[in-house]
């Protein structure tokens, strides 16, 4: 059997010394023996990774590059020395010594000056070459450091996975699983990796399958609507023209459209950067041409200046000095000055606005208009003076200040910008505008106003709108007698309801944010959250905190029991705090709370005792149903025969207990068996 690579052994040692796996130090030898069984496969993966990250051959010398560098350096230095020696020889030699120049002896001085100028230019070129090489070496050194750190990070992640797998295989039958105690990404982060889901795929497929669309995205609060929108921004087939606009709490028609227009203009402005990235080769090619022009202009300028000075410095009549050589020098100097001034003007202009596409140019104009108040002034002054006898003047001053765009002008500007984008991008690219958190509006009636405003810009070819709203906000219309479905559903081509996560999707979501999170515990987190994304992350985060607070490795049963009972105790305690003493449900609620507190001391109450409690308040009946499901989930975690089907049924029931009483009772009956586990 092959031995593990040294890097792998060192990584294993570091992992067991870390707080995350310190609880499993007693099982270190068993885990190493299990990992060594796959040593050949692991060593091959590590060896390939070294070459992939470029750290395997970091100590090797690239002889081709070294030889080429030495030859170039020798060529530069030899040419420079030759030019310097030639210039010195021309300056110091007498005309008799330069008889081999024939008719050019009379111009030996300007030839020497020209060679001196070439020497100066070559010195500058050598200096820049040396500077570039030093910068390149430093960059390469920094790259190697980054590559080494990236390799170490990859190695630590892979070995952590090997260790977790070994712990789960060896100790899983004993109820011990590998579990992280450090998971900073178990929150709703914009930078977190978004695991694919059925809802995301459904929205993407609808966008890709239509020239234009208006999609409504409905779901409960915390069901992952914002996550779906963030997934669209990360989709390579849609990026970079995807923008997310959050709705304000206080509705104002002009302010909402102004925010929407600014976000769309900012996204379209990204096209200039995207085009720059696509044209990197052209930019580099033009850069090389510009440097070549600069060198040629410098050489021409030095030669021309040398000729002109040599011809004019001697004391003799000016006209006698003008000859073809003098004219050549003037022409070279003029060409150099023209080239230098042209490059200087190009750099000073710095702006390529005139070469930008019309949609990008208009987007930048709108961004400036929306961010700043533009004020233009004209000052005209006329003065008449006659021989210091009569003096009169007149001054006319005019200032124009741009006003804020009206609601109608904002709609027109948005229409114009979207049509310009489509004209210069479609069908190669499409624009996706996502409007999030409409349920934050302080008055439900404002949702109808926002949707009606958006109708004006819906169904422009190449432009897609995705609008999210919670089902709670839609339901609030019914209590006010508003036509919510007519206002919401009729405005959209389709209304997609966010699907609650399946067990596999929940495991992927947690695994993408917390490496080494045990799949068995992730299943229970899914069941306790009902597949609701926000509650799923909270449950996983609570499980991590429980393991972190313990001084030993907790079993699956202990983690699930702590997670469920702590959550239920907090819920009953909060309900009691808000309940009046004379309320007829207070006694039953207090008894339920005491049952849960005793369950923390390993005295789990029977589900029959909980089912016997009766509440007049519908909210407490929902809480009782959740307690029944939670206690059954704790029993499942403590059993030796854990059925994935039973866990999934509990998750389905958790998602339905907040519905009407018949739905709640049916969900609990389907999930919790009548008899003991």
pLDDT value at residue 451: 78
116-125, 362-371, 482-491, 532-541: least confidently modelled range: 482-491
Residues 6+ apart with CB under 8 A from 460: 212, 415, 418, 419, 422
What is the pLDDT averaged over residues 655-670?
A: 87
pLDDT value at residue 344: 62
What is the pLDDT averaged over residues 569-573?
A: 91
pLDDT value at residue 352: 46
Asked whether residue 251 falls in the same domain as residue 325, the answer is no
What mean pLDDT is reported for the chain? Answer: 76
**Among the three residues 455, 470, 497, which one is the final residue of a domain in this structure?**
497
Q: How confident is the model at residue 550 (pLDDT cuts 50, 70, 90)?
A: confident
- The answer to whether residue 357 sits within a structural domain is no
Asked whether residue 164 falls in the same domain as residue 54, the answer is yes
**Among the three residues 103, 127, 156, which one is the final residue of a domain in this structure?**
156
Closest CA to 122 of 290, 299, 304, 333: 299
Task: Please tell me which residue, 136 or 480, carries the higher pLDDT value.
Answer: 136
- The answer to whether residue 463 sits within a structural domain is yes
Q: What is the pLDDT of residues 509-528, one digit of tens each?
A: 887 777 667 788 889 999 99
- The answer to whether residue 533 sits within a structural domain is no
As for how many domains the chain has, the answer is 5
Per the CB < 8 A criterion, the answer to whether 526 and 503 are in contact is: yes
How many angstroms separate the CA atoms of 563 and 582, rounded? 32
Does the pLDDT value for residue 614 go beyond 80?
A: yes
Query: Burial code of 597-621, b = ≥16 C-beta within 10 A, e = fewer?
Result: eebeeeebbebeebeebebeeeebb
Asked whether residue 28 falls in the same domain as residue 122, the answer is no
How many angstroms separate the CA atoms of 319 and 179, rounded? 95
Asked whether residue 42 falls in the same domain as residue 138, the answer is no
- The answer to whether residue 168 sits within a structural domain is yes
Asked whether residue 100 falls in the same domain as residue 120, the answer is yes
- The answer to whether residue 187 sits within a structural domain is no
The segment with the largest mean pLDDT, out of 240-244, 269-273, 280-284, 355-359, is 240-244
- The answer to whether residue 378 sits within a structural domain is no
- The answer to whether residue 550 sits within a structural domain is no
Q: How confident is the model at residue 432 (pLDDT cuts 50, 70, 90)?
A: very high
pLDDT value at residue 83: 81
21-30, 337-346, 564-573: least confidently modelled range: 337-346
First to last CA, the chain: 45
Task: Please tell me which residue, 376 or 525, carries the higher pLDDT value.
Answer: 525
Asked whether residue 74 falls in the same domain as residue 53, the answer is no
Does the pLDDT value for residue 351 go beyond 50?
A: no
Asked whether residue 295 falls in the same domain as residue 244, the answer is no
What is the pLDDT averaged over residues 124-134?
A: 81
Asked whether residue 170 falls in the same domain as residue 35, the answer is yes
Asked whether residue 13 falls in the same domain as residue 82, the answer is no
**Among the three residues 313, 331, 347, which one is the final residue of a domain in this structure?**
347
- The answer to whether residue 560 sits within a structural domain is yes
Which domain covers residue 77, as residue numbers? 63-156
Dihedral, 571, 577, 578, 580 alpha carbons, nearest 10:
130
Asked whether residue 601 falls in the same domain as residue 664, the answer is yes
What is the pLDDT averaged over residues 573-579?
A: 88
What is the pLDDT averaged over residues 487-513?
A: 79
Asked whether residue 137 falls in the same domain as residue 217, the answer is no
Q: What is the pLDDT of residues 221-266, one digit of tens each?
A: 777 788 888 888 888 777 778 888 887 777 676 788 888 899 999 9
Asked whether residue 152 falls in the same domain as residue 252, the answer is no
């Amino acid at each position: 059997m092959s031995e593990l690579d040294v890097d792998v052994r060192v990584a294993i040692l570091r992992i067991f010394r870390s707080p995350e796996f310190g609880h499993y130090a007693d099982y270190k030898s068993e885990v190493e023996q299990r990992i060594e069984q796959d040593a050949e496969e692991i060593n091959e993966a590590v060896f390939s990774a070294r070459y992939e990250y470029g750290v395997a051959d970091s100590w090797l010398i690239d002889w081709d590059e070294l030889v080429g560098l030495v030859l170039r350096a020798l060529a530069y230095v030899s040419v420079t020395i030759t030019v310097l020696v030639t210039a010195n020889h021309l300056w110091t030699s007498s005309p008799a010594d330069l008889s081999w120049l024939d008719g050019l002896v009379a111009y030996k001085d300007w030839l020497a000056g020209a060679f001196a100028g070439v020497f100066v230019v070559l010195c500058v070129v050598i200096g820049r070459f040396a500077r570039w090489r030093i910068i390149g070496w430093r960059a390469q050194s920094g790259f190697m450091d980054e590559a080494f750190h990236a390799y170490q990070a990859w190695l630590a992640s892979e070995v952590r996975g090997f260790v977790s797998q070994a712990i789960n295989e060896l100790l899983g039958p004993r109820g011990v699983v590998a579990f992280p105690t450090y998971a900073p990404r178990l929150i709703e982060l914009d930078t977190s990796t978004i695991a694919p889901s059925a809802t995301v795929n459904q929205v993407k497929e609808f966008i890709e399958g239509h020239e234009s669309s208006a999609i409504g995205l409905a779901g409960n609060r915390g069901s992952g609507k914002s996550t779906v929108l963030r997934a669209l921004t990360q989709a390579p087939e849609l990026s970079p023209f995807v923008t997310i606009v959050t709705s304000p709490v206080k509705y104002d028609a002009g302010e909402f459209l102004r925010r929407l227009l600014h976000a769309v203009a900012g996204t379209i402005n990204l096209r200039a950067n995207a085009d720059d990235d696509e044209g990197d080769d052209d930019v580099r090619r033009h850069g090389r041409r510009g440097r070549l022009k600069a060198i040629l202009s410098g050489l021409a300028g030095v030669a021309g200046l040398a000729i002109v000075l040599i011809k004019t410095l001697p004391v003799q009549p000016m006209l006698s000095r003008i000859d073809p050589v003098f004219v050549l020098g003037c022409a070279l100097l003029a060409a150099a000055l023209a080239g230098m001034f042209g490059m200087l003007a190009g750099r000073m202009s710095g702006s390529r606005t005139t070469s930008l596409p019309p949609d990008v140019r208009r987007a930048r104009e709108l961004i400036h208009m929306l961010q700043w108040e533009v004020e233009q002034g004209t000052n005209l002054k006329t003065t008449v003076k006659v021989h210091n006898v009569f003096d009169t003047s007149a001054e006319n001053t005019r200032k124009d200040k741009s006003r804020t765009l009206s609601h109608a002008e904002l709609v027109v500007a948005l229409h114009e910008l979207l049509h310009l984008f489509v004209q210069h991008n479609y069908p190669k690219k499409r624009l996706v505008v996502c409007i999030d958190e409409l349920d934050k509006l302080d008055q439900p009636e404002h949702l109808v106003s926002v949707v009606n405003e958006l109708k004006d810009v819906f169904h422009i070819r190449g432009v897609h709108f995705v609008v999210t709203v919670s089902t709670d906000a839609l339901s609030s219309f019914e209590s006010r007698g508003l036509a919510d479905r007519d206002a919401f559903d009729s405005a959209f081509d389709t209304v997609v309801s966010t699907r609650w996560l399946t067990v596999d999707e929940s495991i992927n979501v947690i695994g993408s944010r917390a490496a080494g999170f045990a799949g068995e515990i992730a299943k229970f987190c899914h069941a306790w959250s009902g597949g609701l994304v926000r509650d799923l992350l909270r449950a996983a985060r609570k499980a991590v905190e429980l393991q972190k607070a313990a001084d030993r490795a907790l079993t699956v049963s202990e983690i699930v029991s702590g997670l469920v009972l702590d959550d239920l105790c907090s819920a009953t305690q909060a309900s009691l705090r808000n309940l009046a003493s004379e309320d007829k449900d207070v006694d039953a609620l207090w008894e339920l709370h005491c049952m849960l507190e005793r369950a923390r001391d390993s005295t789990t109450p029977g589900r029959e005792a909980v089912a016997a409690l009766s509440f007049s308040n519908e909210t407490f009946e929902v809480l009782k149903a959740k307690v029944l499901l939670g206690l059954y989930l704790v029993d499942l975690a403590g059993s030796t025969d854990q059925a994935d089907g039973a866990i999934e049924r509990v998750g389905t029931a958790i998602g339905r207990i907040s519905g009407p009483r018949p739905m709640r009772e049916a969900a609990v009956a389907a999930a919790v068996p009548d008899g003991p586990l």
